[in-house]
């Protein structure tokens, strides 16, 4: 067995974040008395992706991220919402989004029998922990590393240093990271010298020297 540890990203790798995000936004706007429109989903997602990119680059703190995305969204949507009161309600709704991507439950439970698994996610603890605990994957990971708790984010070396310290400092060639993000998961893995597996269901292209590329999570069962 080549690997002893598999590091799984959470959102858009195992969890259907787009679905959870859309439902959380709709419920939050309606609960605060604001009119929800279907086009709000794409608008919010764009601003959310922007602030998470700034967070990964160290330009924003997790606290700043929480409100800035709603400041941008309300301005862009022309809504008179309050980011300070909207953000915590949105996080409560997002924490309920335990939807998994196709094959995630089957694949993770199968791999758990042969490997040690850790969840490595750039996320907020009051969203990620309840979502994991409320899902069918709640008992599959020996370790969970949430950027807000770690104090660093993928692709920072400090993040991976703390992951390795907490999983017993295995040899780098014994660890594989699996994720959908080229900028955080794949670049972080490459920078740290561990093998990488890009989950790429949309058949995007990349010039990164990745070890593996899969279109379906079930491909992991024959790959590993």
pLDDT at 1: 67
Note the pLDDT of residue 49: 92
Question: What is the predicted pLDDT for the residue at 29?
Answer: 96
Mean pLDDT, consecutive 10-residue stretches, the chain (224 aa), reads 94 96 96 95 95 89 92 96 95 96 98 98 93 96 96 95 98 98 96 98 95 97 95
Which range of residues forms the domain containing residue 63? 17-94
- Residues 49, 124, single domain; the answer is no
Both 197 and 86 in a single domain?
no
CA dist 166 and 164 (Å) reads 5
Structure tokens at 17: 């974040």
What is the spatial distance between Cα 28 and Cα 30, in angstroms, rounded to a whole number? 5
The pLDDT value recorded for residue 224 is 95
Q: Strand 175-179 and strand 143-146: pairing?
A: unpaired
Same domain as 132, residue 84: no
Strands (E), 110-150: 116-121, 143-146
Are residue 111 and residue 202 in the same domain, yes or no?
yes
Indicate if 215 and 119 belong to the same structural domain: yes
pTM above 0.95, yes or no: no
- If one counts every other C-beta atom within 10 angstroms of the C-beta of residue 85, the result is 12
Q: What is the pLDDT of residues 18-42, one digit of tens each?
A: 999 999 999 999 999 999 999 999 9
Active-site positions read: 9
How far is Cα 155 from Cα 161, in angstroms, rounded to an integer? 11
Same domain for 113 and 196, yes or no, is: yes
Give the model's pLDDT for residue 143: 98
Q: For residue 207, what is the domain's CATH number?
A: 3.40.50.1000
**How many structural domains does the chain have?**
2
What does the alpha-carbon distance between residue 109 and residue 92 come to, in Å, rounded to a whole number?
A: 27
The confidence score (pLDDT) of residue 57 equals 87
Residues 118 and 209 grouped into a single domain: yes
Q: What contacts 39, CB < 8 A, 6 or more positions away?
A: none
């Amino acid at each position: 067995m080549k690997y002893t540890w598999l590091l799984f990203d959470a959102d858009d790798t195992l969890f259907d974040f787009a679905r959870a995000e859309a439902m959380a936004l709709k419920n939050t706007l309606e609960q605060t008395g604001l009119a929800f429109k279907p086009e709000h989903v794409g608008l919010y997602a764009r601003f959310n992706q922007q602030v998470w990119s700034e967070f990964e680059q160290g330009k924003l703190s997790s606290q700043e991220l929480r409100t800035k995305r709603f400041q941008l969204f309300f301005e862009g949507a022309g809504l008179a919402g309050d980011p300070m009161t909207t953000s915590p309600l949105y996080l409560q709704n997002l924490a309920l989004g335990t939807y998994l991507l196709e094959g995630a439950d089957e694949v993770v439970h199968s791999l758990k029998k042969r490997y040690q698994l850790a969840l490595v996610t750039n996320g907020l603890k009051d969203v990620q922990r309840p979502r994991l605990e409320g899902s069918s994957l709640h008992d599959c990971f020996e370790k969970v590393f949430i950027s807000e708790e770690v104090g660093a984010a993928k692709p920072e070396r400090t993040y991976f240093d703390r992951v390795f310290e907490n999983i017993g400092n295995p040899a780098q060639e014994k660890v594989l990271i699996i994720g959908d993000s080229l900028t955080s998961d794949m670049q972080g893995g490459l920078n740290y010298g561990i093998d990488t597996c890009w989950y790429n269901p949309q058949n995007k292209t990349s010039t990164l020297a990745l070890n593996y590329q899969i279109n379906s999570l079930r491909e992991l069962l024959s790959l590993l």
